[in-house]
């Protein structure tokens, strides 16, 4: 699966195609959670100008239509942009959930999205199955190139195997040095599931952490860039969010320095497991 900025075809392979080690092609996508609808269009237009081609929204974020509007206004061909959205709650029937997914396409004004995710595993076994079957149907009908999940724990991924022969292409989970989700990552790797890393900047709550600061200062870069390069080096696709022009630019370009093995180890050693998460975690949701 190819999830970079480049308008290359999506392949069926997963991790080998992550081009995070290519210095000119950082796989940084733009997150749009808490991007107020009134500013989302401007933010996305700035981001497209900077070079972002991967956008992460959700029905829950209420800014899908502004994202679609910005892409049309930019004049950049649809196929050069990677669009991901998510559905949170089931509607009570596969057909109802499918219709709800199609509403996202209508709101964005697109024929397909590149990736459609189940936002969370919190709707119970029946709800999760209904949502997955709706996404499978959407994919069959051409409304989604790839489908996946978010916030799924090992047991939720295993559950899919009991009723479907389609596996998620992606699991989007919170990942940064303080919350590394190691059991889930190992399980996703074993099942060829690509990891998108949300809240990769820890919502800027760790900018003063002594280890992070010291690494950034030694390398003459920012703490934000260190966090994003850490994520890329692990093979993840980080999705930093910003509505600020300067920060959008800063987050997109993470070149110009290299985190050595020692720096990576110091960052890896910061893991606090679920205690380090900034978003409530549902990986054990029943």
For residue 244, the minimal CB distance to ligand NAP (Å) is 4
CA 92 to chain centre: 26
The C-alpha atoms of residue 221 and residue 254 are separated, in whole angstroms, by 9
Instruction: Report the residue number, 14 or 201, with the smaller CB distance to ligand NAP.
Output: 201
Determine the residue with CB nearest ligand NAP. Answer: 31
Nearer to ligand NAP, 95 or 244 (CB): 244
CB 105 within 8 A of CB 99: no
Residue 9 or 229 with smaller CB distance to ligand NAP: 229
| Distance of closest approach, residue 177 Cβ to ligand NAP, in angstroms | 12
Give the 3-state secondary structure of residue 280: coil
Does residue 60 have an active-site annotation? no
Q: Which residues bind ligand NAP (CB under 6 A)?
A: 31-34, 56, 119, 150-151, 172, 198-204, 224, 239-244, 247, 250-251, 279
Half-sphere exposure of 28 (CA within 13 A, CB side): 32
Q: Measure the CA dihedral 155/157/163/166, to 10°.
A: -170
| Rounded-to-integer distance, Cα 143 and Cα 99, Å | 11
State the catalytic residue, choosing from 52, 61, 152, 236: 61
Using CA atoms, how far residue 224 sits from 17, 100, 247, in Å, is 25, 36, 9
Shortest Å distance, C-beta 227 to ligand NAP = 8
Shortest reach from residue 88's CB to ligand NAP, in Å:
9
33 or 112, CB closer to ligand NAP?
33
For residues 235 and 16, give the distance between their C-alpha atoms in angstroms, rounded to a whole number. Answer: 9
Determine the Cα–Cα distance for residues 170 and 125; give it in Å rounded to an integer.
19
- The reply, when asked if residue 119 is annotated as ligand binding, is yes
Residue that the structure tokens 């889930």 belong to: 184
Which residues are identified as catalytic? 61
- Residues belonging to the binding site are 119
- Residues belonging to the binding site for substrate are 119
């Amino acid at each position: 699966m190819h999830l970079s900025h480049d308008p290359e075809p999506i392949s069926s392979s997963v991790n080998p195609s992550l081009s995070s080690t290519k210095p000119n092609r950082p796989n940084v996508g733009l997150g749009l959670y808490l991007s107020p609808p009134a500013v989302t269009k401007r933010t996305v237009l700035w981001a497209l100008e900077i070079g972002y081609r991967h956008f992460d929204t959700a029905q829950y974020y209420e800014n899908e239509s502004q994202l679609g509007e910005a892409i049309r206004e930019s004049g950049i061909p649809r196929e050069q942009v990677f669009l991901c959205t998510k559905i949170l709650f089931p509607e009570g029937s596969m057909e109802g959930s499918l219709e709800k997914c199609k509403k996202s396409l209508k709101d964005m004004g697109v024929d397909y999205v590149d990736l459609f995710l189940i936002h969370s595993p919190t709707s119970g076994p029946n709800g999760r199955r209904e949502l997955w079957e709706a996404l499978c149907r959407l994919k069959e009908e051409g409304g989604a190139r790839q489908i996946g999940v978010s916030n799924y724990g090992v047991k939720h991924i295993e559950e899919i195997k009991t009723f479907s022969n389609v596996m998620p292409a992606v699991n989007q989970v919170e990942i940064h040095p303080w919350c590394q989700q190691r059991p889930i990552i190992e399980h996703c790797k074993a099942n060829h599931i690509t990891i998108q890393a949300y809240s990769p900047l820890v919502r800027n709550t760790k900018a003063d952490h002594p280890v992070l600061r010291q690494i950034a200062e030694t390398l003459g870069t920012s703490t934000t860039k260190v966090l994003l390069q850490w994520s890329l080096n692990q093979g993840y696709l980080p999705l930093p969010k910003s509505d600020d022009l300067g920060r959008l630019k800063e987050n997109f370009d993470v070149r110009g320095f290299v985190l050595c093995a020692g720096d990576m180890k110091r960052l890896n050693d910061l893991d606090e497991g679920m205690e380090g998460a900034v978003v409530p975690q549902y990986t054990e949701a029943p």
